[in-house]
Structure 1
Amino acid sequence: MASKTASIRNQRIINNTLIYAILIIASIVAIVPILWMLSSSLKTGIDIYMLPPEWIPSKPQWGNFHEVLTRVPFFTYMKNTVLVTGLGIIGTVLSSTLVAYGLARINFRGSNIVFMLILATMMIPPQVTIVPQFLLFRELGWNNTLAPLIVPEWFGSPYNIFLLRQFFVALPRSLDEAAMLDGLSVYKIFWKVTLPLSKPVITTVSITAFMFFWNDFFKPLIFISDDSIKTLTLGILEFKNSFNVIEWNYLMAAAMLMLIPCVVLFFVAQRYFVEGISVSGMK
């Protein structure tokens, strides 16, 4: 009996060791490019091409960041990105929660079919629908404005609807019944009962929406050409194209400045993100 227990303990130690080894290797693979980008952003243009590479610059070039901020309208790009991201998050959260609540808590004929159709749209690549969208927004006079980046997000996101619906389904229906006995309507139950209990999953939706809007390159590239309304992703491309020769140290500095909000958000909200995924019933 003792030998069997020891064997199980040893097998568990081996399994844990393998898991931690894989996680450490994966973490190194993920973080090395970021460290290299940080190192390159503090070098001169010549030092980047040194062999063997110098990971810690002997003379950090902090002026590279000042050059980025002054050579291109970086703060204009930042303002546009913050505007698109903020309004996009609000629209995504409001529309997705309303749709998900209706599918999860309100019984009506064909609700499952509607839900399956929404999930089916997740299988359509965005490249397939971009041409019809472009033609539609051109007729509306929205091309070369921020509207194509913001307005569609106010009509729900299939993935977020799915995530929120899974959470709403898991909530006890006795809460709704008790609220109805107190005289609350469906809308008041949604605002006063369901939403306060949904903070973890709503936080998760907000985080994923932030990452999408902040880093979106495809749609701004298609719909925006005016320099005054470009986002950071297009701004970095403009920064790249503003030189006859690509100056990688400045380009890496611009990328680092764009990465900072994502890193801060990750460390501040990772606990809420994991909690939101777990309480939604997803594995």
Structure 2
Amino acid sequence: MSGAVKTFKNSKSVIVHVLVTAFAFVMVYPLLWMLSSSFKDTADIFVNSHQLIPSKWNFDNYVNGFKGFAGISFAVFFKNSFIITILSVIGTVISSTMVAYGFARIRFKWAPFWFGCMMLTMMLPGEVLMIPQYIFFHKMGWINTFLPLIVPAFFGGAFFIFLIIQFLRGIPRELDESAYIDGCGKYQIFFRIMVPLLVPPIITVSIFKFYWTWDDFFSPLLYLNSPKLATVSLAIKNFSDPTMKTDWGAMFAMSTLSLLPVFAVFFIFQKYIVEGISTTGLKG
């Protein structure tokens, strides 16, 4: 009887692993297809689209793709994306952490009201804010600059603020009281005690903000008119020209390269994601 039960458990485990592997392959298949297409000739991409292994390896796609267009190398587009993304991450982390500390640890007048207003901003669709923001940035003279893509990050993000607040609520207030007794003020408590404890949620916020900013297509399309200021996502779109022959191989090659920073950030900091999202914090 025990042998039959063991055989059943082993068979069940094999079936589960097969199903999970098949599901994972389905999820990863678009990335594998894009990677395969980046090594194919343009004609071969659509004729043998079902083949993941190219019949003829074409490494010139990466060379031609990196040349860019309009005399602008793809290195310029990567530089623009890194400038916007890194500054946006820095601004979001600084502002969101400070605002979250204020809501979670400092008592001030109408705090619940302002917290509710902040949370309500999460319900506003981006389409509602699009036109007012564009008019505001246009009057500021910021159109065709990086400022509309960077400056708003220095005013925090409701989702990130809420995430850090939840983590702060798990940190015992006795730490604050002990620091007050030792003569520390609010700023000293924040920088010397809270910030080191907030490393997991800070890294989680950085990862999410990096992903969302790096992959953003619509905002650069709306505010950046000069090809020299284009980001990677915008530059990849410009490879597709309906009026001329599109170099699909080069476009897929640059799309593949554009994913490398995303994968690098994930694999380096993946251990902090679950810990950062967790709201338990420290246990007293």
The 3-state SS of whatever aligns with 1:180 is helix
Equivalence for 2:28: 31
The answer on 1:217 being equivalent to 2:210 is: no
Equivalences, count: 276
**TM-score, length basis structure 1:** 0.89
Q: Cα gap change, 1:11/1:103 in structure 2, threshold over 3 Å: closer, same or farther?
A: farther
Tell me how far apart the structure 2 counterparts of residues 12 and 160 of structure 1 sit (CA, whole Å): 43
Q: Could you tell me which amino acid in structure 2 is paired with residue 70 of structure 1? A: K
What is the 5 A alignment of 1:1-283?
A: 23-51=20-48, 53-72=50-69, 73-241=73-241, 244-279=244-279
**Are the aligned partners of 2:239 and 2:247 in contact in 1 as well (CA < 8 Å)?**
no
**Are the aligned partners of 1:163 and 1:280 in contact in 2 as well (CA < 8 Å)?**
no
Displacement of 1:260 after TM fit? Answer: 0.8
Q: Cα gap change, 1:101/1:136 in structure 2, threshold over 3 Å: closer, same or farther?
A: same
Q: Deviations over 1:1-27 (max 9, x none)?
A: xxxxxxx99999899788766654442
Tell me how far apart the structure 1 counterparts of residues 219 and 155 of structure 2 sit (CA, whole Å): 17
The 3-state SS of whatever aligns with 2:252 is helix
Tell me how far apart the structure 2 counterparts of residues 197 and 10 of structure 1 sit (CA, whole Å): 48
Tell me how far apart the structure 1 counterparts of residues 258 and 64 of structure 2 sit (CA, whole Å): 15
Q: Could you tell me which amino acid in structure 1 is paired with residue 168 of structure 2? A: F
Displacement of 1:71 after TM fit? Answer: 3.6
Q: Could you tell me which amino acid in structure 2 is paired with residue 49 of structure 1? A: F
Which shifted more, 52-61 or 167-176? 52-61
Displacement of 1:113 after TM fit? Answer: 2.3
Q: Cα gap change, 1:10/1:175 in structure 2, threshold over 3 Å: closer, same or farther?
A: farther
Q: Cα gap change, 1:242/1:89 in structure 2, threshold over 3 Å: closer, same or farther?
A: farther
Displacement of 1:243 after TM fit? Answer: 6.9
**Are the aligned partners of 2:239 and 2:246 in contact in 1 as well (CA < 8 Å)?**
no
Displacement of 1:47 after TM fit? Answer: 1.2
Identity %: 39
Displacement of 1:45 after TM fit? Answer: 1.0
Q: Cα gap change, 1:208/1:52 in structure 2, threshold over 3 Å: closer, same or farther?
A: closer
The 3-state SS of whatever aligns with 2:138 is helix
**Are the aligned partners of 1:201 and 1:280 in contact in 2 as well (CA < 8 Å)?**
no
Equivalence for 1:3: none
**TM-score, length basis structure 2:** 0.89
**Are the aligned partners of 1:164 and 1:280 in contact in 2 as well (CA < 8 Å)?**
no
Q: CA RMSD in A?
A: 2.5
User: What residue ranges of structure 1 are gaps of 5+ in the alignment?
Assistant: 1-7
**Are the aligned partners of 1:201 and 1:279 in contact in 2 as well (CA < 8 Å)?**
no
Tell me how far apart the structure 2 counterparts of residues 9 and 180 of structure 1 sit (CA, whole Å): 60
**Are the aligned partners of 1:87 and 1:150 in contact in 2 as well (CA < 8 Å)?**
yes
Displacement of 1:247 after TM fit? Answer: 2.6
**Are the aligned partners of 1:97 and 1:161 in contact in 2 as well (CA < 8 Å)?**
yes
Q: Cα gap change, 1:18/1:192 in structure 2, threshold over 3 Å: closer, same or farther?
A: farther
